[in-house]
């Protein structure tokens, strides 16, 4: 099984880190290829940035998806998820959606803990989009400003563990999702410091991608996610333009 | 009061038609300027296309919004609405959201009628995003394929009136929204053929834009729609890059 | 365009104040006529009082609505709104409903702040009736008892501004509605003291009334708001009795 | 135990019929007194009429409630229920609310069948007010116009039984409520013609009123249904004015 | 009228206490028979224990239900309620469901107060199952560990009254349910110490059972609660096996 | 990774078939052990039967769970799922819940198609329990009675494919779940006959079980699924009694 990991941010270092952390969540017969967005922001933290990153996800998929069994959009908030799922035939999995669905298997209500308050509206939108608001116990963020997004999981490890414990005790969370690609790997490292299952969104997304591929289902030719008919386009990246125009010649 | 009308499609003819139809919905002290997306699709009909059109809306606003009191995104489905509302200080109104909120003033449940089945998933998403699903009686589309999007409101006038009447009789709609920018102007023309109020989304959006401007409220400096902090960006249209980087020099 | 402003309270001074504050929210081609309920309570603060005030609204409309383009029920809580909308052909707008719908254009969640705790159950019912509970961040009231309803917006200005700020910071409100006819005009006066848009329900209702009239829609002849058939009535105010009996002779 | 049955319509014949049918639903230690509204409509069929009937219910309770243990508002749609529950200390039960709550004990989803389509918006509002929309399988009405409201349960017996069976088979109802005071007594008469429990709203309301009285709970002195403070009133029926003014001298 | 009270716990002392407390809630023409589960736990406090207790309820009903008009499952949480309602023809009432439905007649939102935190997940599930989550103001439990379940209503009387008052003041409850069979009788004893109606679940369940029986409805022969067809079974208690196999010979 | 497959029915042939079909959904490093309920019904088709089967699931887990990484409850409807998840430390996955969560990754709304109408109430309850009702397009069943549950997927193959297509066309399903253990393996066989992804609940459950195990999360020591404290029990199967009593000696 071949999986594609698309980092919608422009940070290649983040892509490399996620590739490395992914290993533990892959079955022996699975390989993973990481790709970094060619344009956009070094990290996404708002709905406006996610709007633009979603376009970059579509461009990346149009250029690289051939030959893969499924793709993971590797930013919590899932920029471009619905659009990508509609446009392409391979299954596309988002880290936020996958983490929340996985959490539903392990408890009634999940808490969401992240490292920056500026992410909250975007992550709240992801909860709403999933239709799982009733199962979300809280969305909490570290109040302080971080110094380096690359190091934030170490810088704020204590604060994040404390918030996860408050999610359990004060908000009634049965599981806690450590949300945000920069926190990848933290869940396993601190799992003994919080008394409920901690969910790493990258691991959850990879788990869901593998589950979906092993189902062996056909891509949709009807319904809300059937590929749209061909249409002329102007001003788009070449591979994306060709895919939308169904210019296969 | 100065309003901006942004057509997220690349069709200048559609922009011109909307500018012309807008006149009846404007108070004497209001002027309107229409703009057409510089890149993208000639008309939007899917979530993937809306993802890309949303980026074009941000680019257009970044370049042109200075000096306007409010902007209207002139495609039902509201591409880029949340992102634009977050990124810019002027009020931004979407045709779908405005039509649905206006419908809530005139009846308990609204029906949505449009000219093509390919639009349904996108419009359903717009209903869900508005949080008004419980007040939506139906989303119906003409089953046949249209010949010309520019003429579709004439080509399918009979079918659309018939669907609007079915929305009332079979689905319990108290009002009917004629959804899709290409239907602009149809509601007034056929209003005596349907026994409930017909809502023209462009007129509704202009009405809401005027209502919001006359409130005299300040733009948010806190909450989910405060402007995000500056951030470096690569590969974006120049005006949008400068706005995101807050490069005011 | 001619608008009717119906004060369901018996206080003519409140009507006069609202007429005066209304000017800023009206387009140049709009005139407004204020009317005061002939019987009932000097101000409404409970569901029981709203039940009675709703009857007075119907009596007033039956007597005076001829020749107007739309009517505004000028008490937050919207006494008689559904009944009036059903019984009469002109559009009828309520201050609470209009304020909440307008707030939905400016943010994800609105807070509601008012001057007296006795109003809370009634205002909560208005939120529920609108179907917008999921978008309501909080309903907050000043804890202390006010001295004069006519002066309460000055007496409690500081407390109300403080509650609005708490609605933003503690409850996650993106906008704040200053609820209750006695607060008319306060939103504009204190708008720089709260970091999100403040919504004045009277201005919102006038904005929505103008928006609806400019739509040019027909009154319903079917659906939940078609005028009921004629029926004999006893013990009602003469104009209302004639309207219900359709005694047009 | 002494129960009050308030008919919000002006038809004394209907009151008499309900008193007679009530006997089977009363325990041996319960007595019932019927009262007819002094003003209003001979039967209520719209939200506007219910608005006015609600006022009549308050007037009747203010004059007669002393010495009773609970009151039943004997019109499906429950005019004045919330207001009465707030204003008076004795428990007040509505036929619609009681029928729906009782239905929840007997099945997952209830159907609602009535004798006239003009009643539908009002009854739908009653379902929504109860918060039980998710448990309502359907609201159906006989399509034809009835000749006499007093005889409608005989005139349409076959149509109503047929609709009840369709509610079971087509809509998935586990119980069926025969809604509308003029149908009182029909449920027992036709109970063998429908394969699910039929619910008579008068019997349900009397059952709930007895259940509430036997609880022995105190009236609220706090919360949403505590009696409002005294307030001056003008133009109201004398007993109601005195009760609102707390003029006990 | 003959009612059956089934205690799903193995404590005969608890059954005896409930029989004694029941008297005040029964009409003069009603008799009650108490039964105790033959196997299981001395008191139920988790979903796992409720799963097992539900089986015991079915066994008890299969053996004893003949000749009764209705049955009450006398544990808050209603173990086996849906299964019993489906399997048997007599109406079956649960204490949790009955208490919540009764509370809906007395206020907009109910609070739930109990004596042990270990009960919370089970009681929360009961709220969710009822579909009344939107009307539940809070579910609160005494934080300390109790010494004797038989004496807990005396041991924690002060704490429970305090929590009930906090449910009113902090959570906005209009009524408070004192949840858990071991609290039977407490509501009446402390009703003057809390300013809203207190609901005793046993009294509520008996009231609802009487209300349902007096309706005179037929058992369902269709819908979700029609008795399942005969099926062979192995390893079940004899009476239950015969009932499921419809072995009436 | 070692997975346990618990068939809550007493049919060993069904267990064997599921073990065989499972192979395609397992990664190379996963082994699966099947177990059959020792008592109960040959197949479960009602909530009453599921209540009893849930007890059997707990008994089986208590006796056999040691040494496994996760367990799958192999009946659509998930008997005993919540109880098992609470009582045991290993992750427990239900076929219905897993199928629905997986479906959420592949489309907005899922349809549910099964082979017998008697299953509908039970499956509807499973949808409601998952909190995903808003994403369920339909629950449909073959109308005819089947001859042999072991052969039903062949007997009704045509009918089931037809219903799946109607779920897409008439109900708007983006995916279709073929629900019920006896349909295991059918989804892959007929996947080219339906234009949307078909979901096999056994494959989905195995995929989710593997995903959860690869997360590497700790079992909960707090929250709604922490293991309950020790408690004396009578009349239970020995291994379950010891587990509940925490009799580890």
Q: Are strands C175-178 and D2-7 parallel, antiparallel or unpaired?
A: unpaired
* CB contacts < 8 A (C, D): 111
E159 and E216 assigned to the same domain? no
Q: Which residues contact E94 (CB under 8 A, 6 or more apart)?
A: E72, E73, E77, E78, E81, E126, E205
Same domain? For B85 and B180 the reply is no
Q: Please answer yes or no on whether C218 and B191 come within 8 Å at the CB atom.
A: yes
In this predicted complex, what is the ipTM? Answer: 0.97
* Cross-chain residue pair B222–C169, CB shorter than 8 Å: yes
Q: Which residues contact C99 (CB under 8 A, 6 or more apart)?
A: C76, C177, C179, C199, C200, C201, C204, C205
| Least Cα separation, residue D99 to chain F (angstroms) | 23
For chain B, what's the residue count? 249
Strand partners, E27: none
Please give, rounded to a whole number of angstroms, the shortest distance from the CA of B14 to a CA of chain A: 16
A32-63 per-position pLDDT tens digit: 999 999 999 999 999 999 999 999 999 999 99
CB burial readout B121-157, b (16+ within 10 A) else e: bbbbbbbbbbbbeebbbbbbbbeeebeebbebbebbb
Same domain? E195 vs E211:
no
Q: Look at residues F135, E78, D14 and name the one whose alpha carbon lies nearest to residue A100.
A: F135
A247 pLDDT tier (thresholds 50, 70, 90): confident
Nearest C-alpha neighbor of E45 from the set E69, E16, E84, E9:
E9
Give the pLDDT confidence of E148-191 residue by residue, as tens digits: 999 999 999 999 999 999 999 999 999 999 999 999 999 999 99
Residues in chain E, overall count? 249
Contact A65, A5 (CB under 8 A): no
pLDDT at B249: 56
Dist. CA B44–CA A86, nearest whole Å: 14
Q: Decide if pLDDT at A203 tops 70.
A: yes
pLDDT tens, position by position, C47-99 = 999 999 999 999 999 999 999 999 999 999 999 999 999 999 999 999 999 99
- The verdict on D168 and D240 lying in the same domain is no
Tell me the β-bridge partners of B136: B110
* DSSP calls for C4-37: EEEE-SS-HHHHHHHHHHHGGGS-TT-EEEEEE-
Q: Angle at the Cα of B218 (from B214 to B222), degrees rounded to 5?
A: 145
Q: What count of residues does chain A have?
A: 249
Q: List C-alpha distances in Å: E35 to E3, E19, E77, E82.
A: 11, 10, 18, 19
Q: Inter-chain contact E215–D25, Cβ cutoff 8 Å? A: yes
Query: Does the distance separating the beta carbons of F104 and A93 come in below 8 Å?
Result: no
Whether E249 has a pLDDT exceeding 90, the answer reads no
Contacts of residue B49 in chain A, CB cutoff 8 Å? 228, 231, 244
Q: Do C216 and B24 touch (CB under 8 A)?
A: yes
Query: Which residues have a Cβ under 8 Å from the Cβ of D196 and sit 6 or more positions away?
Result: D107, D168, D173, D174, D175, D176, E220, E221, E222, E223
D85, D106: one domain: no
Same domain membership, residue B54 and residue B8: yes
| Cβ neighbours of F224 in A, within 8 Å | 107-109, 172, 174
Interface chains of chain E (3 or more CB pairs under 8 Å) = D, F
Q: Do B49 and A231 touch (CB under 8 A)?
A: yes
Q: How close, in Å, is residue E232 to chain F by CA atoms?
A: 7
D45-68 pLDDT tens trace: 999 999 999 999 999 999 999 999
* CATH code, domain carrying C79: 3.40.50.12500
Find the helix or strand (DSSP H, E) in which E168 lies: helix E157-169
| Cα separation, E207 vs D210, whole angstroms | 7
- Chains E and B contact (Cβ–Cβ under 8 Å for 3 or more pairs): no
Token pair listed for D171: 């809509």
From chain D, the residues in CB contact with B134 under 8 A are: 133
DSSP C85-151: HHH-SS-EEEHHHHHHHHHHTT-S-EEEEES-GGGHHHHHHHHHHHT-GGGEEEEEE-SSPPS-TTT
Half-sphere exposure at residue C179, Cβ-oriented, CA atoms within 13 angstroms: 37
Contact yes or no for C40/C9 (Cβ under 8 A):
yes
Global pTM?
0.97
Interface size between D and E, measured as CB pairs under 8 A? 190
Q: Are residues C136 and C179 in the same domain?
A: yes
Closest CB to D196 among E108, E204, E220: E220
- CB–CB contacts below 8 A, B to C: 189
What is the rounded distance in angstroms from the CA atom of residue B235 to the CA atom of residue A38?
8
pLDDT at E18 > cutoff 80: yes
User: Do residues A138 and A167 make contact, with C-beta atoms less than 8 angstroms apart?
Assistant: yes
Pairing of strands E92-94, E70-73: parallel
Predicted confidence (pLDDT) per residue in A69-80, tens digit: 999 999 999 999
Alpha helices in chain D (DSSP H): 12-22, 47-64, 81-87, 95-104, 120-130, 152-155, 157-169, 186-189, 201-215, 238-244
Q: Tell me, yes or no, whether F111 and F193 share the same domain.
A: yes
Average pLDDT over residues E91-98: 98
DSSP H or E run through D4:
strand D2-7
Domain around E154: 97-201
In whole angstroms, give the CA distance from residue F134 to residue A117.
30
Residues of A in contact with F28 (CB under 8 A): 27-29
B139 and B102 within one domain: yes
> Would you place residue B247 in the very low, low, confident or very high pLDDT band (cuts 50, 70, 90)?
confident
Do C185 and C237 lie in one domain? The reply is no
pLDDT in tens, A2-23: 999 999 999 999 999 999 999 9
Same domain, E90 and E126: no
pLDDT of residue D247: 85
Asked if C32 and C22 count as a contact pair (C-beta separation under 8 A), the reply is: yes
- Cross-chain residue pair D220–E28, CB shorter than 8 Å: no
Which chain D residues are closer than 8 Å to F121 by Cβ?
108
Dist CA F6 CA F9 (whole Å): 9
Cross-chain residue pair B124–A86, CB shorter than 8 Å: no
F30 and F55 belong to one structural domain? yes
Neighbors of chain F by Cβ distance (3+ pairs < 8 Å): A, D, E
pLDDT of residue F249: 55
Q: Which of E42, E46, E228 sits opposite F46 (nearest CB)?
A: E228
Low-confidence ranges of chain F (pLDDT < 50): none
User: Which residues does chain A have within 8 Å of residue F192's beta carbon, measured at their own beta carbons?
Assistant: 218
Looking at the structure of chain B, the number of domains it has is: 2
- Which residues of chain E are within 8 Å of residue D104 when distances are taken between CB atoms? 97, 101, 130-131
Choosing among F12, F48, F82, which should be mutated to test the E contact, i.e. which has the most E CBs within 10 A? Answer: F48
The model's pLDDT over B25-55, given as tens digits with 9 standing for 90+, comes to 999 999 999 999 999 999 999 999 999 999 9
SS3 B38: coil
Residues of chain C with pLDDT under 50: none
């Amino acid at each position: 099984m071949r999986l594609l990991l698309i980092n919608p941010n422009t940070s290649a270092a983040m892509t490399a880190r996620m590739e490395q952390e992914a290993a533990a969540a892959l079955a022996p017969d699975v390989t993973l290829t990481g790709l970094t967005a060619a344009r956009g922001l070094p990290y996404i933290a708002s709905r406006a940035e996610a709007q633009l990153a979603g376009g970059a996800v579509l461009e990346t998929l149009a250029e690289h998806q051939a030959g893969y069994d499924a793709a993971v959009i590797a930013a919590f908030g899932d920029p471009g998820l619905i659009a990508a799922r509609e446009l392409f035939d391979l299954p596309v999995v988002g880290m936020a959606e996958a983490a929340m669905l996985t959490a539903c298997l392990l408890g009634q209500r999940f808490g969401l803990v992240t490292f920056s308050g500026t992410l909250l509206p975007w992550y709240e939108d992801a909860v709403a989009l999933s239709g799982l608001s009733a199962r979300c116990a809280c969305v909490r963020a570290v109040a302080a400003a971080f110094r380096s997004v690359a190091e934030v999981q170490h810088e704020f490890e204590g604060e994040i563990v404390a918030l996860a414990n408050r999610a359990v005790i004060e908000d009634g969370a049965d599981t806690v999702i450590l949300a945000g690609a920069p926190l990848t790997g933290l869940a396993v490292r601190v799992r003994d410091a919080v008394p409920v299952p901690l969910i790493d969104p990258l691991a959850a997304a990879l788990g869901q991608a593998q589950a979906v591929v092993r189902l062996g289902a056909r891509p949709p030719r009807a319904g809300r996610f059937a590929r749209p008919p061909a249409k002329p386009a102007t001003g788009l990246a070449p591979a994306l333009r060709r895919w939308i125009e169904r210019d296969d010649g």
